[in-house]
Amino acid sequence: MSDVRHVLVLPDRDAAEEVIEAIGDHFGVDGEPQLVRDALAGEDDAEDAQWLVVVEDPEGRLSPVELDDFVADWDGWREES
């Protein structure tokens, strides 16, 4: 089975950090999700950034629908690959 990577997009760093803390308990994720700041094109201000939580799912066992519902609690969404 090929490796799967889920990218969750959050509106701010606090929300992204909360998702990282909660996702392990909620989904039993192995390993630490990666936190990435994604500056919007042409913007240097931290207020104009999205935060990405990258979750590795090597066995492809996480449900995209469940991830969508989970991250929506923080006004986020799962990026379609």
Other CB atoms within 10 Å distance of the CB of residue 65: 9
74 compared with 49, residue with greater pLDDT? 74
Fold of 4-79: Alpha-Beta Plaits (3.30.70)
Tokens 């803390």 -> residue: 21
Q: Which pLDDT tens digit goes with each residue over 4-46?
A: 899 999 999 999 999 999 998 899 887 889 999 987 655 555 5
Predicted pLDDT of residue 40: 64
DSSP assignment string, 54-79: EEEETT--S-HHHHHHHHHTTT-EEE
**Helix/strand/coil for 3:** coil
Question: What pTM was computed for the model?
Answer: 0.85
Domains of the chain by residue range: 4-79
Predicted pLDDT of residue 45: 55
**81 closest CA partner among 2, 29, 21, 4:** 4
